[in-house]
């Protein structure tokens, strides 16, 4: 099968997620290309063209020119759940105005409509399907649920390094990622007299967003900024004591693969992805998130003479989580998670492409 991922090649600051998915499909025996060909030619015949985000309409148009079927991944649907959930539920500082709502709906409809014309599409979960169907007023056809893909093939080959005393967050700094809320929870812990380890943030944002994190922490929290992408970030995740997530679809899976305990706000989308494999705090509740950080730090307090967590609950949950994420329990009837590895995502895409 010949597949084109219609998007720009990965850059130095790319997460490389689509790139690793492409490699997994190649390992399954398919010819996969990556890019935006200028003109359809005889030499560029594809069975499928994959598009997402603002490239969805161009991908659909290109597929029609070369006589290929088109698949659209509805990337970024979660950000604007206007009319289905309010903006504050997503971690924003305020609800949107009526004009902003109209603009967001118009902007996203502009490229999401491609999914209704394509032969198939994928969405990051059932909650997002509801939002899309609310926005368009009709059902999505040939829609499949594939929620993110962590690079297990790489992560599971990393050395079993000794854990170091820092917390890690892997995220962009947009407000809906809720990194600002994590910062507030950490500052609150310090105010309560709790001694916390340094906080490493692997991600990027605007100068205003960096400044806001620093302002919230006000010198109370030692922040380590890291600007690593793709595989480079894994060594930092692997050695972390705990992972702190806000609204993040993929990082919890990366923490699970590295056997790092993960804490997240219990937003319905993230609960849908990870169920009982990570720790939860009440959504958007800074006080509860701070309390759960404190509990998790206590659970991972090293035993000096052994250098390992004092509680077996953490290690037992880590085994349970990695088994569920990688599907190792599937033979005995354990259901798979919506969150998946890149190998699983490639297998699911293959099934979609060969069934139509």
Q: Is the pLDDT of residue 77 over 70?
A: no
Contacts 24+ apart (CB under 8 A), 311-314: 314/261
If pLDDT is split at 50, 70 and 90, which confidence band does 347 have? very high
Is residue 223 domain-shared with residue 319, that is, in the same domain? yes
Q: Is the pLDDT of residue 7 over 70?
A: yes
Identify the CATH number of the domain in which residue 300 sits.
3.40.50.2000
88 lies in which domain range? 2-146+340-355
Kindly state the average pLDDT of the residues 216-227.
Answer: 93
Q: Are residues 67 and 169 in the same domain?
A: no
Mark whether 213 and 234 lie in a shared domain. Answer: yes
pLDDT grade for 337, boundaries at 50, 70 and 90? confident
Asked whether the predicted pLDDT for residue 314 surpasses 70, the reply is yes
- Find tokens 């056809």 and name the residue: 141
Mean pLDDT, range 316-326, rounded to an integer: 91
The answer on 166 and 128 residing in a single domain is: no
| pLDDT value at 310 more than 60 | no
Q: Are residues 194 and 98 in the same domain?
A: no
Query: What is the tens place of the pLDDT at every residue in 24-40?
Result: 999 999 999 988 987 66
> Do 179 and 246 fall within a single domain?
yes
149-153, 228-232, 338-342: which has the minimum mean pLDDT? 228-232
Position 181 pLDDT exceeds 80 = yes
Assess whether 80 and 217 both reside in one domain: no
pLDDT in tens, 245-264: 998 888 999 999 999 999 99
Residues 141 and 245 in one domain: no
pLDDT value at position 124? Answer: 81
State how beta strands 48-52 and 2-5 pair. Answer: parallel
What's residue 32's pLDDT?
Answer: 94
Pairwise CA distance, residues 206 & 21, whole Å:
28
Q: Which two tokens stand for residue 247?
A: 């609204």
CA distances 313 to 270, 289, 297, Å, are: 22, 19, 13
Instruction: Give me the helix-helix angle, 17-27 and 342-355, nearest 10°.
Output: 60
Count of the separate structural domains present in the chain: 2
- 19 with 70, same domain: the answer is yes
- Regarding whether 74 and 139 lie in a shared domain, the answer is yes
pTM of the model: 0.88
Same domain, 262 and 204: yes
Do 190 and 72 share a structural domain? no
pLDDT tens per residue, range 90-129: 777 777 777 877 887 888 888 889 999 999 999 887 777 8
């Amino acid at each position: 099968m010949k597949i084109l991922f219609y998007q720009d090649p990965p850059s130095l600051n790319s997460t490389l997620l689509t790139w690793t998915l492409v490699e997994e499909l190649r390992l399954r025996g398919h010819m996969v290309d990556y890019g935006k060909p200028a003109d359809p030619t005889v030499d560029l015949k594809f069975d499928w063209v994959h598009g997402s985000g603002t490239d969805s309409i161009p991908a659909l148009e290109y597929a029609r020119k070369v006589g290929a079927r088109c698949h659209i991944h509805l990337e970024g649907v979660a950000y604007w759940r206007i009319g289905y959930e309010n903006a504050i539920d997503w971690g924003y500082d305020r609800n949107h105005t009526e004009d902003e709502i109209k603009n967001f709906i118009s902007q996203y409809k502009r490229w999401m409509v491609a999914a209704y014309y394509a032969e198939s599409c994928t969405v990051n979960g059932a909650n997002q399907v509801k939002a899309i169907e609310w926005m368009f007023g009709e059902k999505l056809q040939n829609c499949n649920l594939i929620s993110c893909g962590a690079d297990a093939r790489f992560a599971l080959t990393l050395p079993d390094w000794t854990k170091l005393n820092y917390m890690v967050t892997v995220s962009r700094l947009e407000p809906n990622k809720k990194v600002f809320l994590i910062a507030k929870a950490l500052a609150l812990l310090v105010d309560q007299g709790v001694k916390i380890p340094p906080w490493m943030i692997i991600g990027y944002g605007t100068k205003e967003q960096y400044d806001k994190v620093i302002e919230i922490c006000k010198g109370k929290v030692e922040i380590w900024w890291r600007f690593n992408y793709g595989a480079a970030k894994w060594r930092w995740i692997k050695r972390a004591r705990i992972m702190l997530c806000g609204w993040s679809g993929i990082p919890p899976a990366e923490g699970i693969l590295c056997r790092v305990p993960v804490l997240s706000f219990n937003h319905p989308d993230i609960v849908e992805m990870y169920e009982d494999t990570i720790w939860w705090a009440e959504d958007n509740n800074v006080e509860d998130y701070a309390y759960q950080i404190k509990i998790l730090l206590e659970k991972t307090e090293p035993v000096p003479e052994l250098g390992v967590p004092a509680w077996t609950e953490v290690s037992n949950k880590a085994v349970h989580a990695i088994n569920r994420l990688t599907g190792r329990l599937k033979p005995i009837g354990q259901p798979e998670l919506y969150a998946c590895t890149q190998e699983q995502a490639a297998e699911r895409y293959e099934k979609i492409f060969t069934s139509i």
